[in-house]
Amino acid sequence: QERMETDEALRDLGYEVQRDLDGGDFSTVKLAKSKKYQKTVALKIMQIDKHVQTEVSILKRVKHPHIISVLDIFEMAGRLVCIVMEAAPSDLEKAKKFQSVIPTDQARTWFSQLVSAVVYLHKQNIAHRDLKCENVLLTADNQVKLIDFGFGRFSRGFPDLTREFCCTPAYAAPEVLLKRPYDPKKADVWSLGVILYWMVVGRLPFQNWFDFPLEEPCRDLISYMLRYYYLMRPSAKKVAQHPWLQMKRELQVNHHTRV
């Protein structure tokens, strides 16, 4: 009943709901045709709470090619917030269902795009705190779009430590799981390491650690991000400068030189 009422209210606002894409404890995502924007969009509908306020605050502030674009934000019935976003047909988790691992060159491209988004956020003094494969969307033209900023945190100086538990446990840094004071940006870097491992190995880390064939630069980058002590972990900017990610740029330069 409530779902039908929501869909009806959205129809009155010019959004023809086609289907539900995702649903959880905190939000529902719907695919809809927009009269105003003349295209298919994603509608994220959430009950108003502190996480929603954080997400809205961050999305209004950021603009990056690999962070989801927001078209509109409005309240519904005084208790719901609807975020109108560009639609993307897939995510990293779904992409791997069709293959045991993601090919190295594709993994490098997607991971490079994801890291560029995280570097941008950290430069804006924003930590994501829930980086995981389901939160990395893939557009129809194969571009990464980072979503879901409900656990995001604005930094208030350096170092900015917190004890608040966020993140999906499988992607959480040791210090987060142990409920110790942690640096949210360095916790993001750990989550990036888990994502890359999952992309190129096909499973989450710490199950038969490194018993697989993997080129040394990629193995080195994963080890770099998954350092137990957060003070020994690189910044996102350092990750972006790693030789394995620079290989893509070198290949592109060499290709253009040959042409």
> What 3-state DSSP class applies to 33?
strand
Question: 179: burial class by Cβ within 10 Å (0-12, 13-18, 19+)?
Answer: exposed
Do the beta carbons of residue 85 and residue 31 sit within 8 Å?
no
Instruction: For residue 72, give the nearest of 14, 113, 139 by alpha carbon.
Output: 14
Q: How many CB atoms lie within 10 A of CB 81?
A: 19
The type of residue at 101 is V
Q: Which of 49, 105, 130, 211 is catalytic?
A: 130
Instruction: For residue 247, give the nearest of 222, 224, 217, 219 by alpha carbon.
Output: 217
Distance from CA of residue 23 to its chain's centroid? 17
> What 3-state DSSP class applies to 32?
strand
Question: 124: burial class by Cβ within 10 Å (0-12, 13-18, 19+)?
Answer: middle
Do the beta carbons of residue 187 and residue 129 sit within 8 Å?
yes
**130 an active-site residue?**
yes
Do the beta carbons of residue 8 and residue 32 sit within 8 Å?
no
Annotated catalytic residues are 130
